[in-house]
Amino acid sequence: MKLVIKINESQLNRLVDKVLIKEQVYTNIDKSYDYKKNNGVWFAKNKTGNRWIDISKYPDSIKTIESKIKSKNNKSYTPDKFPYNKLNDNPSTKFMAWTIKKSDGGYLGNDTEAYAEAAFNAIKTPQQYSEVAKYLNEDPYTFISTFMDTKTRYHTKSVHDRYVELYGTEPDKRPKQLKPNNVKDFQLWVINTKKDKTILGKFGADGDWGANSVKAWYKYGNEYLKTNKNVVTNDKSNLIVSKTLNPDYKKYISPNKINPRKSNYLGKLDFGVDTCAAFVHSVDSEMPFVGDAWLAYNNTDLGPLVFSSFKDLSPDNIKKLGEMYALIKKNNGGQKNGKFNNQVGSLVKSFIKPVNTTLQIGDFIGMYNPGSHNHEKALYQASQNPKWYNFAYENPYFTKDGKPNVDLFKDNDGIGLNTHVGMVGAIKDGVPIIYHSEDGRFYADPVNNIVGGGKVAWVRRLGSLEPVAYSGPTINKSIT
């Protein structure tokens, strides 16, 4: 008797997809995960693990994955098109560095890894490598490794393999290259302290990091680090944190999770911290507890005000604030998601200034958050209560008809119009990193790359937090 099994078309398609067609695994989407699609469902696994996880609940991530795959499939290596044509025609080291830098973040399109790879392969000598590093202000290999898998070959030769050709050694065994402002110090130390006037060649202490500096580092690097404790290297472990960091947060923080050039999402907190102000108090035991973000502005318990976008406003801007306050009050506003929320947000945005102070571990940061629903509420409440703890008097900054008390503005720090707060919780490669939380999501962001387009509005300096090295070399408190 013959056994006949009937299957429908849908079952046949699944059988063909799962059994007869070899499952494709995408390994070059990013540095951390591999991806595959099975029966229309996307899965991901850590590159170092074996467990595949269904990622259906992350539609935005799936969209990004599919976009990258489409881009990689549709873009071939076309030597006659930009930037390949320029990289293949004796490019300047400045253009190589520009291409590498702009490949991080999609400036040149989705196929960023291939462009970075092509630019890296255009580097012909260690001297050119040093020049590219100077333009990048960072070691090229280290920079590229922060946003792509250097061992993956895209169109030409992998970044890893090209590095080995240039230096004859594995990248992870290369000497820790100093940041540019420390290179010349090291070279002078070799010449003057070690009395070695030949190893650096005819150029001596020129501040450039080339093949001779690499040789010198192999010979003297460890001794130099031991005798120069203030040195900052480009090693990924170069992360400085507060000594009083809450241990509960340590599982979210590690050097390889914090990129000093991007906003860094460290994860969803698994314990109850429901506001940004509560987060700051929770993340570090030395940080005082504060109430609403806008009322923290006048809280002197946070230390002196060392920078503010809300101080010394022009008479015209003070007038606009007064008129806006009067309009809100007249309409019984001052609430979350109020009808004037967007208008107030735009007004506050116009006040924001570039930060003019070097941020330090423990600085309390007031932030402008473009997407906040509390702009109107912040203006209304801060106008009534300039001292965060004092609710005994109302509307000291404006008279009843909404006209501003200009003298009071001039004689004081003004009012807090920010709707978000954080703290400088780390310094990575010399860059201050702001810890902050939005709805329980933990972010670690450099000043100029705050998630959602946020901006630093003001800074109070507590001054009592002690910075310590997370790992790697010890660094003094005064870091610029």
- Over range 16-33, report the average pLDDT: 60
- Over range 329-334, report the average pLDDT: 82
Q: What whole-number distance in Å separates Cα of residue 349 and Cα of residue 418?
A: 10
* Helix pair angle (159-167, 126-136), 10° resolution: 130
Q: How confident is the model at residue 391 (pLDDT cuts 50, 70, 90)?
A: very low
Higher per-residue confidence, 280 vs 68:
280
pTM to 2 decimal places? 0.52
433-445 pLDDT, tens digit each: 999 998 888 999 9
CB 141 within 8 A of CB 176: no
Query: Residue 379 is encoded by which pair of tokens?
Result: 């203006």
- Return the minimum-mean-pLDDT range out of 12-16, 194-198, 282-286: 12-16
- Return the minimum-mean-pLDDT range out of 106-120, 401-415, 440-454, 458-472: 401-415
pLDDT averaged over every residue in the chain = 77
HEC per residue, 227-241: HCCCCCECCCCEEEE
pLDDT at 94: 92
The listed range with the strongest mean pLDDT (106-115, 247-256, 428-437) is: 428-437
| DSSP annotation string for 137-193 | TS-HHHHHHTTS-TT--SSS--HHHHHHHHHSS-GGGS--PBPHHHHHHHHHHHHHT
pLDDT at 398: 53
Q: How confident is the model at residue 475 (pLDDT cuts 50, 70, 90)?
A: very low
- Return the minimum-mean-pLDDT range out of 26-30, 74-78, 217-221, 353-357: 74-78
What CA–CA distances, in Å, run from 292 to 226, 370, 376, 447?
A: 46, 17, 13, 22
CB 395 within 8 A of CB 334: no
Kindly report the length of the chain: 480
Q: What whole-number distance in Å separates Cα of residue 373 and Cα of residue 387?
A: 22
Higher per-residue confidence, 75 vs 239:
239
Q: How confident is the model at residue 24 (pLDDT cuts 50, 70, 90)?
A: low
Is residue 288 reached through a cis peptide bond, with omega within 30 degrees of 0 on the bond before it? Answer: no
Q: What whole-number distance in Å separates Cα of residue 390 and Cα of residue 371?
A: 28
pLDDT at 23: 58
- Over range 238-244, report the average pLDDT: 79
